[in-house]
Amino acid sequence: MKTIVAISTAPMTSAIGIVRISGDRAFEITEKIFSKPLANVDGYRVVYGKIYDGKKVLDTVLAMVFRAPNSYTGEDTVELSCHGSPYILNRVVELLIENGAVRAGRGEFSKMAYINGKMDAVQAEGVIDLIEAQTAAEVAAAQSELGGKISEKVEEVRKKLVSLSADILAYVDYPDEDIADISSEKIEKTVSECYEQINALSLTYGRGRMIKNGVRTVICGKPNAGKSMLMNSILGCERSIVTETEGTTRDVVGESAVFGGVKLEVRDTAGIRDASDDVEKIGVKLAEKELASADLILFVFDMSRKKDENDERVLEEIKKSSAKKIAVLNKSDIAVKTEKTPDFEEFDASVVISAKTGEGMKNLEKTVASLVSDGVVPSEVVMNARQFECLCGCAAALKNALDNISMTPDVLLDDVNEAIVCLGSVTGKGVAEQIIEDIFSRFCVGK
């Protein structure tokens, strides 16, 4: 087995940076550049010493010692807490490589943890989700993966189905043996219980997807209502975490921002609208493409102008959507006070703001938070698309078994076995190496 090494902290100048080395030869290789012996140091101990680059001292560091199997990877591991100069950190890695270590690939430490049985696929995905978490809800949901709650539930159902499958198989294959009849009531009861459990778990993905990928939020309204300004205002709330999300780490593409403590995936429809003057055509396109898949619609109404047919056209399209809807009454700073604001009764809420001065934005944050999140994250919530697909596969197979429940037991066996395979895939049992590679390739180097 190789001994792997990488910088585990962010690639930038900082007070401290950590180099991690893991594998059978972790202590022996580290000792070659470290001033103190490590071979006889107990696990969970810290040794203060110097790193040598040839005869010269490169850095004074703390070496944290972890002994197999009590480490993140399950192997002997040393974490060198160095001064956070990128030069020093890279040099320490080079020196360890010169002495026999191999540079770790993306997520390779976590992959070792997986191979050594320290975590299953759901927990591994929990590690990535925790690292990437931007909101309290995301942390809570990642903890439900990492803490094994989802895996436990899946495993509990899988074991029930394995036992059922064995019973059916014994009955079918050895009809002459003295094996108790398996009643169709028992099969139906077990299959339907398992179906209920897995279906309920898969339904948490609606919430989980919003927690992880953000609430799909569409800003719409007639030209010049202030959509772009509102968009900028929302993105500006926590600009530091505004990201251009990529397909590799997120399931959807868009601009993401935390607004009122809720992660939003915001789509400003202004761009689409500006592409053409044909409001109606655009309105239809907008309705089909964006509104259909929206979780939240922010309809921007310009209070400085009268409601007109352009507003009506957009409102017609909004009506068809099942998303939560907020009427954002914009330009409060120049609104004609004598003009009565239309009441948008069909909306879940309406908020008066000025995207220009910022007035009312706090109120909008609160309204968004209360509409799309009840603040409580269930103890098990699926937020990973891969896990969700496996659960759906299982639910479909069990549903099929229930539909055919009056058939002979051997007919049901295929569906039950298919459900078992799907559940195994959730936690990584018997899945193709490629899928495991795919999971860990999303990690950063050093994790």
Does 111 bind ligand GDP (CB under 6 A)? Our answer is: no
Contact 212, 141 (CB under 8 A): yes
Nearest C-alpha neighbor of 296 from the set 358, 371, 362, 205 = 371
Count of residues in contact with ligand GDP, rule CB under 6 A: 16
Considering the rule CB under 6 A, would residue 270 count as an interface residue with ligand GDP? yes
CA–CA dist 282, 288 (Å, integer): 10
Which among 30-38, 123-131, 136-144, 352-360 is the span making contact with ligand GDP, rule CB under 6 A? 352-360
187 vs 270, which CB is nearer to ligand GDP?
270
Interacting residue with ligand GDP among 287, 323, 355, 390 (CB under 6 A)? 355
Name which of residues 226 to 255 contact ligand GDP (CB under 6 A): 226-229
Q: Which of 331, 381, 382, 384 binds ligand GDP (CB under 6 A)?
A: 331
Stretch that binds ligand GDP, among 53-61, 223-231, 341-349, 415-423 (CB under 6 A): 223-231
Q: Which pairs from 189-193 meet CB under 8 Å and 24+ separation?
A: 190/160, 190/161, 190/164, 191/164, 191/398, 191/401, 191/402, 191/405, 191/412, 191/416, 192/398, 192/402, 193/160
Please report, as a single letter, which amino acid is at residue 93: V
Q: What is the rounded distance in angstroms from the CA atom of residue 311 to the CA atom of residue 314? A: 5
Does the footprint of ligand GDP cover residue 334 (CB under 6 A)? Answer: yes
Which one, 354 or 425, has the nearer CB to ligand GDP?
354
By CB under 6 A, what part of segment 148-167 binds ligand GDP?
A: none
Half-sphere exposure of 117 (CA within 13 A, CB side): 2
Give the interface segment with ligand GDP, choosing from 57-65, 176-184, 225-233, 389-397 (CB under 6 A).
Answer: 225-233
Which span (57-65, 91-99, 216-224, 386-394) binds ligand GDP, by CB under 6 A? 216-224
Q: Is 419 in the site for ligand GDP (CB under 6 A)?
A: no
Nearest residue relative to ligand GDP (C-beta): 226
Sole binder of ligand GDP in the list 99, 165, 224, 370 (CB under 6 A): 224
The rounded distance, in Å, linking the Cα atoms of 38 and 33 is 11
Tell the smallest beta-carbon distance from residue 338 to ligand GDP (Å): 17
Contact between 8 and ligand GDP (CB under 6 A)?
no
Contact with ligand GDP (CB under 6 A) among 29, 63, 225, 314: 225
Other CB atoms within 10 Å distance of the CB of residue 112? 23
Measure the N-to-C terminal CA separation of the chain; round to a whole number of Å: 18
106: exposed, middle or buried (Cβ count in 10 Å: 0-12, 13-18, 19+) = middle
Q: Does 330 bind ligand GDP (CB under 6 A)?
A: yes
- CA–CA separation, 121 vs 343, rounded Å? 50
Contacts of 350 (CB under 8 A, 6+ apart): 326, 327, 328, 329, 343, 344
Chain residues in the site for ligand GDP (CB under 6 A): 221, 223-229, 270, 330-331, 333-334, 354-356
